[in-house]
Structure formats: C-alpha cells, structure tokens
Amino acid sequence: MLLKKPAWFRKSGLIVIGVMLMISVSGCSDMPTEEAQVDETVMEVQTISEDSKEGAEEIADICLDLYKKGAEENKIANLEMIRSIVSRFGENGYPAVDSRNQIDMTEAEQVVQFCKMVDAQEEAKITVIEVDYSGGLIKYELQAKDGNVDVVRSYYKYVNGNVQRTVTGSYRADYWNYTEDGYLMFSGVWFSEEMYVLTLSGAEEHVALRVQPLDKTYRELNRKYLLPISYMRNNMFLVDWSEDDFGDLNFYDMYDILYPKVNSKYVPYVADDNLGVGAVYRIPKKEFENVIMTYFNIDSKTLQSKTTYYSEDETYEYKPRGFYETEYPEYPYSEVVGYTENSDGTIALTVNVVFPYTSDSQVYTHEVVVRPLENGGVQYVSNTIIPSEDKYEAAWYTPRLTEKEWEETYGDK
C-alpha cells in the first residue's frame, strides 16, 4: 500500500531551511499550531507500548559482547564489525540491516510478508533493527492495522560498557512503500518525551531500508569509486561530462573533495570568519594541478580554461564556498546496480541515486566510467545521465556563485 507521499521541497525552500538549521537550536521540526494537536501528541508519547520498554534489555544483551569487542579493538565503526552485529540479530530472528546499505538484510522474508499484510490491510507486527556506524542502533517496532502503520522507534547507544536505550519515540507513518527494487521506505514526524519537553515538537524521519539483497561486487565498486565522491557539494554525478568534453563539471568543488585524499589533510584555504566577506586565494599551479590530475586525465590548458588562471604568476584563483553557498544537510546516496568491464581497461558503472528524504529509491540513474590505475588509484573518465520519463531535480545541490553573483554578494569585501 502506498500511503500519502510527503510534498517535495523546492530548491529555494531547502536553502532557506538549511540556513535556519545553522542558526537555530531547535532543529528542523515544525511547532504544533493547535492546542488540541499538542495534547494528542503528549498522550501519544505517554502511551508508548510497554512491550517496547520490556524488550530493551533483550536488544542490549544480544549485541553487548560485540560492541565491547569493537570498542576494545577500536573497530566499532568497522564494516566487518557492523556485519557481525547485523548477523547476530539475524541469528536471533530479527530482520536487521546497516544504516549505510552495505550489508544484506537478515530475515528479509519477514519484512516482505509484513508489507504484504499491510497491503491486505491485515493486522501485523514486526521489529526491524538498523545498525549505525557510531556505536548505536535503531529498533523499529512496526504495527499494522487497516492499512496504517504505527512506528515506535528506539535508539540504543553503546556507552561505558553498556548498550543503553537513550531515546524512544513514536509516530504513524504518513508515507509507506515497498518499492519494486526492494526498498522499504517510510516516513513521519516522531515524538519523544525528552524532545517534547524541550521543544513541544517532533522531528521528521525518512527511513530507507534495502530489503532485497544486492550483489557483493556492486557494493564493493560503490565503496571504492562512488561513495568517496558522493553527491555532497559537487556536481560530478549530476551533469554529463567526459575526458573529451568536461562540460559543466566544477573543478573547484572537486578540488575540495580530492585535496584531503591526495594530501591527507583538510583544505587549508578556508572561508573568512566574517560571513559577509568573500575569501580569495591564489594557489600555485603545481599544487592545484596535482590534486585534480591525480583523479582526472586532463591537461593544464584544458583545466585552466575551466577555472580562473593567472599566467603572470602561474596560480589558480580559488574562492572557498561561503555562507551563501551552503546546502540543506540531506543528501542522496549511490547504489551500483550493474557494471561492465571494457576492453580498454575502464569500468562502466550503472548507478541508481537513492534519496530517503524524498522517499525515492531511484531519483535518477547515471553511468560512471572509471579507469583503475596500477598503483591502486583511479581516474574518473565520464558521467552520463541516463534519460528517463521522470525528470529529476537535484534540489539538494547548491552551485558555487558565478563571478557576477560573487561580485554582487561580496563586492569589495
């Protein structure tokens, strides 16, 4: 059953909200507008199921020894450690998955059956575990009736040798969908006693759990070539480009992302502390080109034509992203769903863009071609957006200011 889908935010709205998030302590929640709604919320929070409270100890006992081991070995965020925790929950009969979509869900057939019962408007219950990479996990207790799904979500954290339940909240899913490509996606506004006391409001939650397994090689290719770039503050996977024509690929964004990988430290050219001042740097030719040319087969002349270059002192102008180029902190993630090894040694990766915030498991699909290098490195060869009847808008992305926009914004500052 497909319940009400949340309205998509326009790009301008996302930017406004993003600015509000940075300057507001209360976060992204909306205040209730009617006293009756507030009263109902208080009652809902106060009547969180006793079963949930009683089950907290069981959840902690199942995985405590693994969290202790992970903490002792400083591997609590290690992929194999997370895999062992997910497997342990599966051994105890729980559907479980990791928060980064790197591990196949255990007991997935239980979730498939639950979704069928939701569609049939039958009564059903299930508990699903999502293990994160910061020493915690979320337990989702889902209860279906008449086609509606109520969610009790409890967050557990490994602290001082114990797995403790720290926050519990509940909500009715206003969006629920088991997608054709095997994702369970649901969302709603959840409330907890602690949150309500502080803010009199709830927090939006958008959940995307891959139920159906994914080829192990796909995930390995994704970790190696896509995830290190991501869709955050760059347009590398948003526009068509190739080594023959780099198109609108922004090399300044790529410099920000690739500099730490090449130099093992953060970019030293930072924005001014005064948000109203635009910082401008001159980066020596060798330094700038070394970063870009490590990952792209591009010559100096072409790179200079795609940037601002000063031949008199052989430097590249660089303006770090400022306050007016911030993005809303919700991003999609990549999922490799196919690949082809080409005769020239390159690999063509077919990639779906999954965006939990919009409850969409396939915002769009693109093909990325990479060239693995003998030293273990990689060169990115091209990106091509695969045409679709559904037009997408990368509303999370904020491009850098153009030269004209930068002058209008900062002027002589």
Give residue limits of the domains in the chain.
11-213
| Helix locations, 92-138, DSSP H | 108-119
Report d(CA 70, CA 163) in Å as an integer.
13
- How many residues would you count in the chain? 413
pLDDT at 1: 47
CB 316 within 8 A of CB 309: yes
Task: Assess contact for 80 and 87: CB atoms under 8 A.
Answer: no
Contact 116, 129 (CB under 8 A): no
Q: Tokens at residue 216, please?
A: 């192990």
**Tens of pLDDT along the chain (413 residues)?**
444 444 333 344 444 444 444 433 333 333 334 344 444 444 444 444 455 555 677 888 999 999 999 999 999 999 999 999 999 999 999 999 999 999 999 999 999 999 999 999 999 999 999 999 999 999 999 999 999 999 999 999 999 899 999 888 899 999 999 999 999 999 999 876 665 555 556 688 999 999 999 999 999 999 999 999 999 999 999 999 999 999 999 999 999 999 999 999 999 999 988 888 899 999 999 999 999 999 999 999 999 999 999 999 999 999 999 999 999 889 999 999 999 999 999 999 999 999 999 999 999 999 999 999 999 999 999 999 999 887 778 889 999 999 999 999 998 76
Closest CA to 90 of 71, 104, 69: 104
Q: What is the pLDDT of residue 53?
A: 57
Rounded Cα distance between 100 and 219, Å, is 10
pLDDT recorded at residue 378: 97
DSSP class of 360: B
Q: Are 348 and 369 in contact (CB under 8 A)?
A: yes
- Rounded to 5°, angle at Cα 370 from 367 and 372: 155
Cβ pair 291, 258 in contact under 8 A: yes
Q: Identify any residues that bridge with 191 across adjacent strands, giving them in sequence order.
A: 170
With contact defined as beta carbons under 8 Å apart, do 153 and 49 qualify? no
Give pTM, 2 decimals: 0.84
With beta carbons less than 8 A apart as the criterion, state whether 118 and 124 touch. yes
Is residue 246 a contact partner of residue 302, using CB atoms and an 8 Å limit?
yes
Are the C-beta atoms of residues 301 and 311 closer than 8 Å to each other? no
